[in-house]
Every structure is written in C-alpha cells, then in structure tokens.
C-alpha cells in the first residue's frame, strides 16, 4: 500500500512539472512534440529514457501546425487532425491547451483509427473535447444557448465508437463541475485511459469519465476545428497492455508503427 501511494505521488509530481523545450518541426514534415515518460521510471531503480513523440499530418495543410519554442500552434484551418506515429492502449495523457479566439473548438481523440471516412474531416475514437467558454453564447438556436456542460470537457464516442457515460447528457458524458478557463488562459487535462475506461481531470480535479469503450487501442489525434489553439507540455505515461482483441483495436496505418 505504501509503495502504491509513493508511485501515485511520483506520477502526479511528474505531470505537474514543466518540461523544457521538447517540440520541433522535423525535416520530413513530421511534428515532434511532447514525450513519453516510462512507467518503469516509477518502479525500477534503473531509469528508462524518455522518448519524444512524433506526429503525422492526416488531412490538414502543411501550415496548420507550427512550432514556437515549446508550444505547438494550430491555426484551426482546415478542419482535420494530425495523429501520433504509433498506437496506444493503456496510458495517462497530460496536455495543456489554450484557445485564442472566442468560441474556439478543438479536442483530442484517443483510441482513434486516425482515418476519416471519405467526405468527412474527423476520424473515429473517443473525443476529449476542448471548447472555449463563449462557444455556448455563439451557437444559440432561436435565442437559446446550448447547455454550459458543452464547454467543460465532455467525453463521447465518435465515428461508431460506443461508450457508456458516467454523467449522461444524451450519449455524451458531461463534467460534474465547470472548471475550464476562457481564451488566453491555459487549461490542463490529465486523461487516464485504461481498458476502455477514461477518467478526465480538468485543471486539477477529476470531473468526468466513460466506461465500456467499444474501441480501446488506437492512435491519439490532435484536432484542428476552425480556431487557433495552442498546446504545450504534452506527456504520455505508457502503462502495461491489457487483453484487447483485434476487433477492439483500430487498424494499423502506415508510418512509424
């Protein structure tokens, strides 16, 4: 029990510490942004080297994503995604994000196939939504604003991926506390993804989750959806694999798998 508490404390400590510049534009056109932090560093005496994460543009323009020191800047145009070079199954994702425009829209897809259908811009997976607070005011219908839950970290399956929401708003799961900050302010998501279960911490508190994802291994995608957004301090703790059959895994794509 004591050892488990120490490991949890170390994980939280690692995720909360800023890491110096770890983003660059690769000569090949790939983006290098963020890094893995091996779980073995918490359980073994001999440290395991962290690995920088490579990202591949799926269906956006070459200028959609650019580096500015330790920040990844997404222009928001066109709508689409870039994906991790490899697939992941069980992991903890730490990411910090900041919208630059009122009502900005973006998100992270986990356990995704990273392969949008013909005529569509976005892939399947479970979306961890990132909306700027004014989105509800700018998307009124007949003078009625959507529920404020939209903008505080909803979780939902897309592209045929099914999930069971912890806090249902239809098929989506809404956060039980409104914790996101508006444009020009940094938000922190810690996303725990294990065996088809997701738990989301928003700015330091767990407030949302889903269970029973029908797809539980795949790519991580960062979304461009119409507005400039900045990302920083992306870290990925890779956990032990589970027993995931092929039918619950996204197909492997070409690239660096």
Instruction: Please compute the mean of the pLDDT values over residues 74-100 and round it to a whole number.
Output: 97
pLDDT of 105 > 70? The answer is: yes
pLDDT at 5: 41
Distance CA 4, CA 82 (A): 35
- 89: pLDDT confidence band, cut at 50, 70 and 90? very high
- Do 256 and 219 meet the contact criterion of CB atoms below 8 Å apart? no
Model confidence at 14, pLDDT cuts 50, 70, 90, reads very low
pLDDT digits (tens, 9 = 90+) for 27-43: 446 899 999 987 776 77
Residue 164 parent element (H or E): strand 164-165
pLDDT digits (tens, 9 = 90+) for 209-253: 999 999 999 999 999 999 999 999 999 999 999 999 999 999 999
Confidence band of 143 (pLDDT split at 50, 70, 90): confident
User: In the prediction, which pLDDT does 9 show?
Assistant: 42
Residue 246 has a pLDDT of 97
Q: Are 172 and 131 in contact (CB under 8 A)?
A: no
Per DSSP, 180 falls in state -
pLDDT exceeds cutoff 70 at 53:
yes
| DSSP letter (8 states) at residue 133 | T
CA distance 33 to 65: 11
141 vs 130: CA distance, rounded Å = 21
Q: What are the structure tokens assigned to 24, written together?
A: 């660059």
* Residue extents of the structural domains in the chain: 2-245
Q: What is the pLDDT of residue 48?
A: 74
Asked if CATH classification 2.60.120.560 holds for the domain at 2-245, the reply, yes or no, is yes
pLDDT-derived band at 256, boundaries 50, 70, 90? low
Containing 7, the helix (H) or strand (E) segment is helix 2-16
pLDDT at 23: 42
Question: What average pLDDT does this structure show over 175-194?
Answer: 97
Two structure tokens written together for 9? 């404390």
pLDDT band at 99 (very low <50, low <70, confident <90, very high): very high
Query: What are the residue ranges of helices labelled H in 45-167?
Result: 135-138
Per the CB < 8 A criterion, the answer to whether 25 and 33 are in contact is no
**pLDDT, position 30:** 85
For 16-27, what is each residue's pLDDT tens digit? 544 443 344 544
The C-alpha angle with vertex 199 and arms to 198 and 204, in degrees rounded to 5, equals: 150
């Amino acid at each position: 029990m004591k050892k488990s508490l120490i490991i949890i404390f170390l994980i939280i400590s690692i995720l909360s510490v800023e890491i110096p510049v770890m983003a660059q534009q690769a000569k090949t056109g790939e983006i290098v942004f963020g890094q893995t932090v091996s779980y073995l560093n918490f359980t073994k005496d001999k440290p395991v080297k962290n690995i920088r994460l490579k990202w591949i543009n799926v269906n956006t323009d070459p200028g959609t994503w650019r580096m500015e020191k330790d920040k990844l800047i997404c222009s928001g145009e066109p709508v689409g995604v870039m994906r991790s070079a490899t697939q992941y199954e069980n992991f903890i994702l730490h990411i910090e994000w900041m919208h630059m425009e009122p009502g900005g829209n973006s998100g992270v897809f986990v356990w995704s196939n990273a392969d949008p259908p013909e005529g569509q811009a976005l892939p399947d997976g479970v979306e961890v939504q990132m909306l700027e607070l004014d989105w509800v005011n700018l998307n009124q219908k007949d003078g009625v604003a959507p529920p404020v839950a939209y903008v505080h970290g909803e979780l939902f399956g897309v592209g045929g991926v099914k999930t069971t929401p912890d806090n249902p708003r239809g098929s989506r799961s809404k956060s039980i506390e409104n914790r996101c900050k508006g444009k020009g302010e940094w938000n922190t998501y810690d996303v725990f993804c294990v065996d088809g279960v997701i738990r989301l911490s928003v700015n330091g508190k767990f407030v949302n989750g889903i269970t029973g994802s029908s797809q539980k291994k795949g790519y991580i995608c960062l979304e461009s959806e119409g507005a400039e957004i900045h990302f920083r301090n992306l870290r990925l703790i890779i956990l032990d694999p589970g027993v995931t059959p092929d039918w619950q895994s996204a197909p492997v794509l070409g690239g660096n798998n």
